[in-house]
């Protein structure tokens, strides 16, 4: 018996409750009936889950560092701050891998894109803000948590804008500072100075300026080079491999300071290029 037009389609309603994903396969069971298999791609989402875990691990270590400071254990707090910062940098590596793995294996999906954004919000939005708050901003009272919230809101708005511009924006550039780069600035500051035993309370004002600036740069219209035009699958000269080895050697010689310097230079490159562009426009007849 056919269904009447005014009766709900129970099968359609049931499917609408399943996770939204583009990965739907059709096949046949043992009796020859057509069946549909719906699911998510495992490999890229494993990297995204690891990214999410790294952000969560950073938050846990920031909370542990704050507890250690309250107990008067400055050495233990410094160790926890280092773990929290390192976890954010690990999350950056994992965030770069999940997208590349999805493209290389042709396993992109709408579910994966949304899951990646939610993981980025934890790893590059909440975790760096809480890390900065636990190390330095907490001593500023309401001003401190307001600055931390500015950063969190900037990361959320940056990710939301990025998702709405996928497919239309110029892939050579990011509009606004990317959230992983902003997180690198914040995590680098905490890691580099706490590693020397410097207390964040002595740098509260400077940290507040840097965190607020990172949050504002994320929602700005300043263009940043995305480096997506680099062809990692093509042939390169042998000297390029030597350059990569040299970069790794330099980074591992002093990770906290080198990484901080690298992300500060990248964060400053956007405003500098923007000012140079304005200057060239004014000098043109």
What is residue 229's predicted lDDT score, i.e. its pLDDT?
Answer: 67
Strand-pair category, 34-38 with 24-28: antiparallel
pLDDT at 131 over 90: yes
Q: Is 65 helix (H, G, I), strand (E, B) or coil?
A: helix
> 143 Cβ partners below 8 Å, 6+ apart?
137, 208
**Do 174 and 180 touch, CB atoms closer than 8 A?**
no
Q: Is residue 52 within 8 Å of 98, Cβ to Cβ?
A: no
Cα–Cα dist 91/186, whole Å: 14
How many domains does the chain fold into?
A: 1
Residue 12 pLDDT > 50:
no
Tens-place pLDDT, residues 97-121 = 877 777 777 777 788 888 889 999 9
In a domain, 16, yes or no: no
**Token pair listed for 134:** 């636990």
- Residues 53-65: what's their mean pLDDT? 96
pLDDT at 164: 85
CATH code assigned at 187: 1.20.120.1760
With pLDDT > 90 as the criterion, what percentage of the chain qualifies? 50
With contact defined as beta carbons under 8 Å apart, do 173 and 228 qualify?
A: no
pLDDT at 104: 74
Number of other CB atoms surrounding residue 271 within 10 Å: 15
| pLDDT in the model for residue 28 | 52
> How confident is the model over 33-58, as a mean pLDDT?
79
Give the Cα separation of 211 and 198 in Å (integer): 18
Res. 75 pLDDT band, cuts 50 70 90? confident
The average confidence (pLDDT) of the chain is: 83
Q: Are 222 and 271 in contact (CB under 8 A)?
A: yes
How confident is the model at residue 225, as a pLDDT?
87
* 59 is a domain residue: yes
The pLDDT score that the predictor gives to residue 283 is 76
pLDDT tens for each residue of 236-280: 777 878 888 898 899 889 999 999 999 999 999 999 998 988 888
Q: Which residue has the higher pLDDT, 249 or 30?
A: 249
How many Cα neighbours within 13 Å face the side chain of 251? 12
Helix (H) or strand (E) holding 38: strand 34-38
pLDDT band at 137 (very low <50, low <70, confident <90, very high): very high
- As a whole-number percent, the residues of the chain with pLDDT over 70 amount to 81
Cα 27 from Cα 23, distance rounded (Å): 13
Instruction: Reply yes or no on whether the pLDDT at 14 is more than 50.
Output: no
pLDDT of residue 173: 84
How confident is the model at residue 255, as a pLDDT?
Answer: 92
Confidence grade of residue 7 (pLDDT, cut at 50, 70, 90): very low
Average pLDDT over residues 3-19: 44
Q: Which domain holds residue 85?
A: 42-283
Banded model confidence at residue 232, pLDDT cuts 50, 70, 90: low
Task: Report yes or no on 183 lying in a domain.
Answer: yes
Q: Is residue 22 part of a domain?
A: no
With the C-alpha atoms ordered 98, 100, 105, 110, is the resulting torsion angle positive or negative? Answer: positive
Residue 19 lies in a domain: no
Buried b / exposed e over 27-39, threshold 16 CB at 10 Å, is eeeeeeeeeeeee
In this structure, is residue 167 part of a structural domain?
Answer: yes
Q: Does residue 35 lie in a domain region? A: no
**With bands split at pLDDT 50, 70 and 90, how would you rate the model's confidence at 67?**
very high
Is 123 part of any domain?
yes
Which pLDDT band holds residue 5 (cuts at 50, 70, 90)?
Answer: very low
Angle at the Cα of 267 (from 62 to 46), degrees rounded to 5? 55
């Amino acid at each position: 018996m056919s269904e009447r037009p005014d009766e709900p389609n129970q099968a359609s309603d049931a499917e609408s409750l399943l996770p939204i994903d583009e990965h739907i396969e059709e096949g046949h069971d043992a009796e020859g009936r057509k069946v549909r298999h719906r699911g998510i791609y495992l490999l890229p989402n494993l990297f995204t889950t690891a990214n999410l875990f790294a952000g969560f691990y950073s938050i846990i270590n920031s909370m542990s560092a704050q507890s250690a400071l309250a107990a008067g254990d400055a050495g233990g707090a410094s160790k926890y701050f280092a773990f929290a910062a390192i976890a954010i940098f690990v999350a950056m590596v994992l965030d770069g891998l999940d997208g590349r793995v999805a493209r290389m294996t042709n396993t992109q999906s709408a579910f994966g894109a949304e899951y990646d954004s939610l993981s980025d919000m934890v790893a590059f939005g909440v975790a760096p803000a809480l890390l900065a708050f636990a190390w330095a901003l907490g001593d500023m009272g309401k001003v401190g948590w307001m600055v931390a919230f500015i950063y969190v809101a900037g990361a959320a708005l940056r990710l939301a804008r990025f998702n709405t511009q996928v497919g239309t924006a110029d892939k050579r550039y990011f509009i606004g500072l990317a959230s992983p780069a902003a997180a690198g600035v914040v995590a680098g500051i905490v890691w580099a100075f706490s590693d020397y035993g410097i207390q964040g309370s002595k740098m509260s004002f400077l940290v507040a300026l840097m965190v607020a600036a990172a949050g504002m740069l994320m929602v700005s219209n300043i263009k940043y080079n995305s480096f997506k035009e680099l062809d990692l699958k093509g042939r390169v000269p042998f000297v390029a491999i030597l350059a990569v080895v040299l970069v790794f050697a330099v980074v591992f010689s002093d990770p906290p300071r080198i990484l901080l310097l690298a992300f500060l230079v990248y964060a400053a490159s956007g405003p500098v290029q923007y000012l140079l562009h304005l200057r060239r426009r004014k000098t043109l007849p």
